[in-house]
Structure 1
Amino acid sequence: MDSAEIDSILNNIKQDSLQLQLLQKLSLNYLLEDDSSKFRFSNYRAKLISRQLDFRKIEADSYWDLGYFFTKKNILDSAYLNYYKAYKLYRLEEENAYAGRMLLNMAISQEKVKDYLGSEITTVESLKILPPDDRKQIYRAYNNLAVVANGLENYDQALEYHEKALEIAYSIKGKKLIAQTLNNYGFVYQAMDSLENALTQYEKAIKVENLKEIDVQLFAIILDNISYTKFQLGNHGDFFETSEYSLRLRDSLNHETGIITSKLHQASFFSKSRDTVKALQILQEAKYLADSINSAKYKLKSLKKLAEIDRVNSANYLKDFIQINDSLLKEERAIRNKFARIRFETDQYREKTQLLSQQKFWISITAVITTCGLVLLYYYREQYNKFRELRMQKEQQESNEKIYNLLLNQQTKLEEGRQEERKRISGDLHDGILGRLFGTRMGLGFLNPDSKKLDNYLLELQNIEKEIRNISHNLSTDISDSSESFHNLIDQLIREKNEISNISFTYHFEESFDFDQISNDIKINLYRLVQECLQNAIKHSNALRVSIKFHSDQNFLYLSIKDDGQGFDVNKKNKGIGLSSMKFRINKLGGDMNLKSSKLGTTFIFKIPVLNDETI
């Protein structure tokens, strides 16, 4: 699949996240298949889209893949750069396990160019952030620390780190890791010229169960190390046969550096056996292979062996050795410096990018705050105007309530005056006129009893006395109460409305209901509700008749006001201040308002909770 086909497939996928997932899978697949051009294309696209979508985890994965690609190509500075970019992104995403692995990859790249101090520092950094349960990566860290210590010829420390690595390998039952660590043990002992100890470790490693099936390349390395160490100890018996078997395994795997190593060991064997021609032939093959893979390390090893065996051309070989070695040292030094520069420049670039992002952020924040401030100012002015309007309404409402209270007080005082006047008249009738009539009746009783006319006068006086007594008693009875005052106010309101409009207003209330049991506040609000409804009917309804009715049911008082007018749309959003005021009043009393309106008229039903005699 070429880039055009990839573009065609991606263009048919509308969702960016799906495009990104496909690109990531394609990129990894091409990397494993060693298809460089397709890998680089899909990897670049994956990085680009993930950056646009701010998918930092996938962007980091893409840098990781690219770092591995350069590691395989032995382009260590580019590998280091991409591992470092991936590390930074993983840290931002708090993916410490992956960030620790990137640091380890960077440390191994540093070790390969003999930046031992830098590699050690980077490895220690990785150990600080790797999760404790990520035992395999911790093993890699201790193994790299051991390799670094060995490169610095600090062999005791190298053995200590290998011991820690071996403990982890056993704890996770990693057979390959156990064999690999034992082989590394042997390599350190070999560098110390402790060949017996080296051979002991190699032989332990080769005995790891099913090692050949687990990793044939590692098996070939250890087998070659065993045969060469035995050869160094003077045991030449089966060296060549074992070395040839190891070489065939390496050749079948195309393990180029392993093939060179086997040839170098065989050259030493033939040189020791005084077969110089065969030794030089094998060394030339090793040097040619080292040239073909551009391995300076193995070029140097081949040239060193050739200088030792070929005395005639020794000077030329040594000259080439020195030139390549100097060039290698300069290259390693340049790469080490580049590693340090990569970290510095990348951090500096990220700081600049972060600074620009912060500047954009603060500019955006300032713009948002300014906009919000203007919106809030506008909202504040609107709310302030509404607040003033509501305050005026409230003040008007309070004034109306004061007026109503004054009306109630006036009505109460009028009733009290009437009551006092009735008591006065009752007293005058009882104490004055009735007494005089009684006296007259008694005087007449002493006249001639035989007179029929006299009896008639006496009977008439007695009847007058009874009538006056009844009138007196009726006047003295308290026929006025607070309920009467409330009814009078409603009656007076209805009379006023009847006089100023063509609408016929009727009023009915349940006589059994005692208005004394409800508070003055409820009466005030009931009066205002009636007043508002009547006013609305006059202004808007075009009605001919309006009925007002009070009735009770258990603990509730009901006020219903019904007209036969044209009605209105109850679903209209802006319903005016009057309806809002009525809702406010009824909610204040803890009641409910039910409104129905059609072309046949409008009905308001107010339900208000009150206490009855039983609850009192």
Structure 2
Amino acid sequence: MLVFSCSGSEERQIDTSTQKSFDSIKVYIIQNNLGPLEVDSLLKTITLDSVRLNLLQDLSLHYLLLENDSTKFRLYNKRTSKLSQNFDFKKIEADSYWDLGFFFTKRNILDSAYLNYYRAYKLYRSEEQNDLAGKMLLNMAISQEKVKDYLGSEITTVESLKILPADQKKQIYRAYNNLAVVANGLENYSQALKYHERALEIAQSINDKKLIAQSLNNKGFVYQNMGHFGQALIEFKRAIVIEDLKKLDIQLFAIVLENISFTELKLGRHDNFLKTSDYVLKIRDSLKHETGIIASKINRAQYFSKISDTVKTIQLLEEAKYLSKSIKSTKYELRSLKELAEIDRINSTEYLKEFIAINDSLLKEERSIRNKFARIRYETDQYIEETELLSQQKFWISITALITTCGLILLYYYREQYNKFKKLRLQKEQQESNERIYNLLLNQQTKLEEGRQEERKRISGDLHDGILGRLFGTRMGLGFLKPYANSNRIDDYLLELQNIEKDIRNISHNLSTDISDSSESFHNLIDQLVKEKNEISKISFNYHFEESFDFDQISNDVKINLYRLVQECLQNAIKHSKAKNVFVTFRSAQNFLYLTIEDDGQGFDIKKKKKGIGLSNMKFRVHKLGGNMNLKSSGQGTSFIFKIAILKDETV
């Protein structure tokens, strides 16, 4: 069950007129990927401080919203904030804090988000921009609601309503919606419904279909919490028939549709549940809506619980628990553990222990952040007062410093000439010392390398000229004894000595030539894997690779994943294919490496075959490497073709 609370903090939009004004300069910076020093040089050509600030601000917002480049965003955001402070452009400074607050909100770092929203709020208020100040208060209130600081969130939301201009309908909508979410969190459901109804009236007054659908969905969610599933279903159905809802917001459409099917399940109508759930899950997969996918799995678990399929129920809840943990969604992880404890009686105690541990940790974290919120307001206000006092002091200190500087300038000029001469002399001496040290290190490294090579050659010579010669003499001596001894045993000894000579000769050559072929090592790994499968299976496994391709070109990470792909495919062939032959081939073309694994087995129906964890793992590995997987299967066999971009190993 999902509520579309509209509680995410608002980001600042790129101003169209500003973007057009700086389009040519901004495009030049972005397309040429200019570094900080190059951008500084470009900014120096702009004489007006306000123009420079607007350009920096525009770049910062571009990397935040359009490219999601956190490094460049933080760089330009910091410069914007610092420069705006220097030139006392409070509006631009406030905008930079707003952007930074949104950045932290997206990463769920709520105390930092709250701090920057509050800084922006204070600056907007000082500039009498109540519409923007009200937005910042709302963003702060939503951050408070997320850590269950319901009282604080309610107070901050009411503060925002007091200063928001009447024409800011969408912001007023957000305020009433947040008040409803807070009331729902406090289980004051009747008050939550009143606030949602007020938000709905505002949405209808501006004819915003998306906001209307959100409010209807949220009302349904409150009715569900009250156990009034019939009334909840009415609200959800009112939302789903909103014209063009699927086009307006497909994620909201999926949420409402899921809520309808789940409510009908609660009412005992589950004939179409799986069909609807499959459709919703497909939408969420395409949107990569992770929390939505988890919610779908938990709801599907409840369906299978109702039809007494305990195994499927536990499987879905375990999947939901795993996904929740992977995206750090404590809310859904706790919900999964709670339901697992109720279903899986054997492991119920372990699930409850894990639930209690996570819940206690979450409560401590939320309590800590709530305390930080109160401290942030106090410390920020104190900091602003101190800053104003320091500004006055700074003025008089500047005057004093200027007079003092004028009095010391002649002394400085004299000492500067003396220090300049002394510095040049020290620099020259330092340079000569550095050159000597470098030459010593270089000579030492050369001698060490020469020593290593000499030792390798000595060992190689000892093996080749000493031990190898003695083995050869022994073999010749055994050869002369053949007429007087058991011929077969003599032949065996001679063959063994000959093999020993060959091995020693190879070792000698390897020591002499200093070869270390990691590419050959990779081939050996695959070859050994194929030999192992041949030994344990009746299937004939064949391995071929393009000898001209050098595996040193690719990173160790790619090699590991290629090995795992081969391993998984061969294992699947043994288990399921009923094949006689399996062929493993590596080839390269146009900066791509192709791994092909084919068998002549019975194949399977790709459309009907449920995607197991093996196929999912293979797709994950290939996706991680930036490649793709092509799977074909018929009655004549199955083939996997993996296409991987050749990424050079920077560690080589």
TM tier, shorter chain?
0.5 to 0.7
Deviates more, 1:105-114 or 1:305-314: 305-314
CA-to-aligned-CA distance 1:105-141 (integer Å, 9 cap, x gap): 0000000000000000000000000001111100000
Helix, strand or coil: the match of 1:54?
A: coil
1:34 and 1:273 mapped to 2: Cα distance? 45
Partner of 1:30: 63
Helix, strand or coil: the match of 2:243?
A: coil
Helix, strand or coil: the match of 1:322?
A: helix
CA-to-aligned-CA distance 1:424-469 (integer Å, 9 cap, x gap): xxxxxxxxxxxxxxxxxxxxxxxxxxxxxxxxxxxxxxxxxxxxxx
1:12 deviation in Å? 3.7
Partner of 1:324: 358
CA-to-aligned-CA distance 1:176-222 (integer Å, 9 cap, x gap): 00000000100110110011111110000111110000000000000
Residue 139 of structure 2: which of 97, 105, 130 is its match? 105
2:327 and 2:400 mapped to 1: Cα distance? 59
2:52 and 2:345 mapped to 1: Cα distance? 64
Greater radius of gyration (CA): 1
Is the Cα contact below 8 Å between 1:3 and 1:38 reproduced in 2? no
1:159 and 1:362 mapped to 2: Cα distance? 58
1:13 deviation in Å? 3.1
Partner of 2:544: none
Helix, strand or coil: the match of 1:153?
A: coil
Q: Give me the identity figure in percent.
A: 70
Instruction: Indicate yes or no: 2:253 matched with 1:219.
Output: yes
Is the Cα contact below 8 Å between 1:228 and 1:239 reproduced in 2? yes
Partner of 2:608: none
1:14 and 1:282 mapped to 2: Cα distance? 62
Residue 157 of structure 1: which of 176, 181, 191 is its match? 191
Partner of 2:380: 346
Partner of 2:223: 189
Is the Cα contact below 8 Å between 1:70 and 1:78 reproduced in 2? yes
Q: Which amino acid aligns with 2:186?
A: L
2:214 and 2:400 mapped to 1: Cα distance? 60
2:125 and 2:95 mapped to 1: Cα distance? 13
1:237 and 1:265 mapped to 2: Cα distance? 15
> What does 1:134-149 correspond to in 2, within 5 Å?
134-149=168-183
Instruction: Indicate yes or no: 2:60 matched with 1:18.
Output: no
Unpaired segments ≥5 residues, structure 2 = 1-32, 402-652
Partner of 1:7: 40
Q: Which amino acid aligns with 1:86?
A: A
Residue 129 of structure 1: which of 157, 160, 163 is its match? 163
Is the Cα contact below 8 Å between 1:300 and 1:321 reproduced in 2? yes
Q: Which amino acid aligns with 2:63?
A: Y
1:363 deviation in Å? 8.7
1:358 and 1:178 mapped to 2: Cα distance? 52
> What does 1:416-435 correspond to in 2, within 5 Å?
none
Distance change (3 Å), C-alpha of 1:258 and 1:5: farther
1:253 deviation in Å? 0.8
Helix, strand or coil: the match of 1:131?
A: coil
> What does 1:55-70 correspond to in 2, within 5 Å?
55-70=89-104
CA-to-aligned-CA distance 1:280-319 (integer Å, 9 cap, x gap): 2211211111111111111101111211111111111110
> What does 1:499-538 correspond to in 2, within 5 Å?
none
1:321 deviation in Å? 0.4
Q: Which amino acid aligns with 1:9?
A: L
Instruction: Indicate yes or no: 2:242 matched with 1:208.
Output: yes
Q: Which amino acid aligns with 2:174?
A: R
1:356 deviation in Å? 2.5
Instruction: Indicate yes or no: 2:369 matched with 1:335.
Output: yes
Distance change (3 Å), C-alpha of 1:366 and 1:6: closer
Instruction: Indicate yes or no: 2:92 matched with 1:92.
Output: no
1:16 deviation in Å? 2.5
> What does 1:363-374 correspond to in 2, within 5 Å?
none
Helix, strand or coil: the match of 1:86?
A: helix
Distance change (3 Å), C-alpha of 1:314 and 1:46: same
Measured on the aligned residues, the alpha-carbon RMSD in Å equals 1.8
Q: Which amino acid aligns with 2:205?
A: S
Q: Which amino acid aligns with 2:180?
A: A
2:121 and 2:319 mapped to 1: Cα distance? 41
1:6 deviation in Å? 3.1
1:11 and 1:276 mapped to 2: Cα distance? 69
Is the Cα contact below 8 Å between 1:104 and 1:123 reproduced in 2? yes
Distance change (3 Å), C-alpha of 1:94 and 1:257: same
2:204 and 2:318 mapped to 1: Cα distance? 42
1:81 and 1:206 mapped to 2: Cα distance? 38
2:341 and 2:277 mapped to 1: Cα distance? 23
Is the Cα contact below 8 Å between 1:100 and 1:127 reproduced in 2? yes
2:85 and 2:153 mapped to 1: Cα distance? 30
Partner of 1:268: 302
Q: Which amino acid aligns with 2:304?
A: F
1:15 deviation in Å? 3.2
Helix, strand or coil: the match of 2:128?
A: coil
Q: Which amino acid aligns with 1:10?
A: L
2:37 and 2:279 mapped to 1: Cα distance? 47
1:346 and 1:241 mapped to 2: Cα distance? 53
Distance change (3 Å), C-alpha of 1:353 and 1:281: same
CA-to-aligned-CA distance 1:536-589 (integer Å, 9 cap, x gap): xxxxxxxxxxxxxxxxxxxxxxxxxxxxxxxxxxxxxxxxxxxxxxxxxxxxxx
1:3 deviation in Å? 3.3
Distance change (3 Å), C-alpha of 1:260 and 1:3: farther
Is the Cα contact below 8 Å between 1:183 and 1:222 reproduced in 2? yes
Q: Which amino acid aligns with 1:17?
A: S
1:360 deviation in Å? 5.1
Unpaired segments ≥5 residues, structure 1 = 368-616
Instruction: Indicate yes or no: 2:322 matched with 1:310.
Output: no
1:7 and 1:276 mapped to 2: Cα distance? 64
1:70 and 1:325 mapped to 2: Cα distance? 24
Q: Give the TM-score of the pair, scaled to structure 1.
A: 0.58
1:234 deviation in Å? 0.2
Q: Which amino acid aligns with 2:104?
A: F
2:291 and 2:202 mapped to 1: Cα distance? 28
1:11 deviation in Å? 3.7
Helix, strand or coil: the match of 2:97?
A: helix
Q: Which amino acid aligns with 1:43?
A: N
1:365 and 1:4 mapped to 2: Cα distance? 33
1:366 deviation in Å? 13
1:5 deviation in Å? 4.1
Distance change (3 Å), C-alpha of 1:366 and 1:49: closer
Q: Count residues in correspondence.
A: 367
1:169 and 1:159 mapped to 2: Cα distance? 15
Partner of 1:301: 335
Partner of 2:6: none
2:241 and 2:392 mapped to 1: Cα distance? 60
Is the Cα contact below 8 Å between 1:147 and 1:158 reproduced in 2? yes
Partner of 1:282: 316
Residue 77 of structure 1: which of 97, 102, 111 is its match? 111
Q: Give the TM-score of the pair, scaled to structure 2.
A: 0.55
Q: Which amino acid aligns with 2:58?
A: K
Partner of 1:539: none
Instruction: Indicate yes or no: 2:272 matched with 1:238.
Output: yes
